[in-house]
Homo-oligomer: A and B are copies of this chain.
Amino acid sequence: MDKLVQELVARKIRPSIQRVKILEYLINNRIHPTADQIFQHMQKEIPTMSKATVYNTLNTFLSVGLVRLLTIGGSEARYDINMTTHGHFKCESCGTVHDFTIDLEDCELGGLDDFTVEKRDVHFRGYCPRCSSNPGRSSKC
């Protein structure tokens, strides 16, 4: 818990109970959760927490580079506490998002002369091992 507080203080974010708990959740549940998944979980820990606080907190974390935003697939945003360079795979059957390693430096690029590239995202989609081997395509993984 103390480590979490440090993490926030180091980034000049006041370590409110709400913020610490959300940070704790992100660190312990590396499933690229949606805001709603975080909100649902928080109801157990701090039943009074509002959805606005979840969004406020995530936006605060985003602004200091504590989390990254994934917009893979569209309708809802996902949040990732893992700031290292990596790609994301989304299973079209069960919806889970998985990390993979990729080194774009090797990659042949063209058409970006004079562009200032600041962020690079790689999104793959398809079927995860469980869904690939089970043609039933349950939607539970």
Interface residues of A (CB under 8 A from B): 69, 71-74, 77, 87, 89, 92, 98-104, 106-129, 132-133
What residues on B are CB-neighbors of A113 within 8 Å?
Answer: 129
* B107 contacts A129, C-beta separation under 8 Å: no
Main secondary structure on A side of the interface with B: strand
Q: Taking A71-B71, A73-B71 as contacts, is the C-beta distance between A118 and B111 under 8 angstroms?
A: no
Q: Taking A77-B74, A106-B108, A109-B102 as contacts, is the C-beta distance between A124 and B119 under 8 angstroms?
A: yes
Some 25 contacts from A to B, beta carbons below 8 A apart, are A71-B74, A89-B115, A89-B117, A92-B118, A100-B112, A101-B109, A101-B110, A101-B111, A102-B107, A103-B108, A104-B107, A106-B107, A113-B129, A114-B129, A114-B133, A115-B124, A116-B126, A117-B125, A118-B127, A119-B124, A119-B125, A119-B126, A120-B123, A121-B123, A121-B124
